[in-house]
Structure 1
Amino acid sequence: MSDDAKAMSEWITAVSRELGLEGQVDSEKSVDAVLDLTSDVAHGVSRPAAPVTAFLIGVAAGRAQEPQVAAADYAQKISALAEGWDADTERGVPSNDPDNRG
């Protein structure tokens, strides 16, 4: 395990403990999802939008009945939105339309 990976793992464990989330989050999958999401937003929209987007997804997922499922769904949808952000085509469907969820 690299020094960065070890530091990340220790940090996620400490933050999860502080926030009372121990055992409620699959930290490896969550970290990968957040890093992928923030990379998509940073490159497709703007770098400062990346952490704010992750925060907004966390707030939205926290309000859902199944936060882990919602977080994964929201991250996938928002990554797709970010990847097409500067596209010349119209953005298409409203983001909260249940018929368009994957």
Structure 2
Amino acid sequence: MADSSDASALSEWVTAVVRELGIEEALDREGVVDMVLDLTSDVAHGVSRPGAPVTAFLIGVAAGRADDPAVAARDYAQKISRLADGWDADSERGTAAGDQSRRA
């Protein structure tokens, strides 16, 4: 668990970034930090440490294209966390995650 100085620094940083990007009204900050940290932890431990920030970026791009980015980000994070959790158990790496017709 992060100590209070880390949590405070993170909160201040996120506030500054949100302000700098002008997304105060577009972002429901409740749970966003935890969602991203959980997602990146799942990817870092289940797939690849360098894949974690890349995955967060890709989810951000995808969510930004949605009608409701905040809802999409949460949905995508859950979906990708499940994918990362089962990554070692999945033997069909060549099959796209969404292509259920090709999976056994």
Indicate which of 61, 75, 91 corresponds to 1:59: 61
* Structure-1-length-normalised TM-score: 0.85
Give CA-to-partner distance per residue, 1:4-51, whole Å, 9 cap, x none: 010000000000000001132222410000000000000000000000
RMSD after superposition: 2.1
Aligned residues: 97
- Decide which structure has the larger Cα Rg and report it: 2
Counterpart residue number, 2:98: 95
Query: Structure 2 matches for 1:48-87, cutoff 5 A?
Result: 48-87=50-89
Identical amino acids, percent of aligned pairs: 71
Give CA-to-partner distance per residue, 1:51-98, whole Å, 9 cap, x none: 00000000000000010110000000000000011105547874378x
Structure 2 distance, partners of 1:22, 1:44, is: 32
| Structure 1 counterpart of 2:98, one-letter code | S
Counterpart residue number, 2:26: 24
Gaps of 5+ in 2: none
Runs of 4+ deviating beyond 2 Å: 88-97
Query: Against the structure 1 CA distance between its residues 51 and 88, is the aligned structure 2 distance closer, same or farther, given a 3 Å change threshold?
Result: closer
Indicate which of 4, 16, 21 corresponds to 1:2: 4
- Bigger drift between 14-23 and 50-59 goes to 14-23
Structure 1 distance, partners of 2:70, 2:92, is: 30
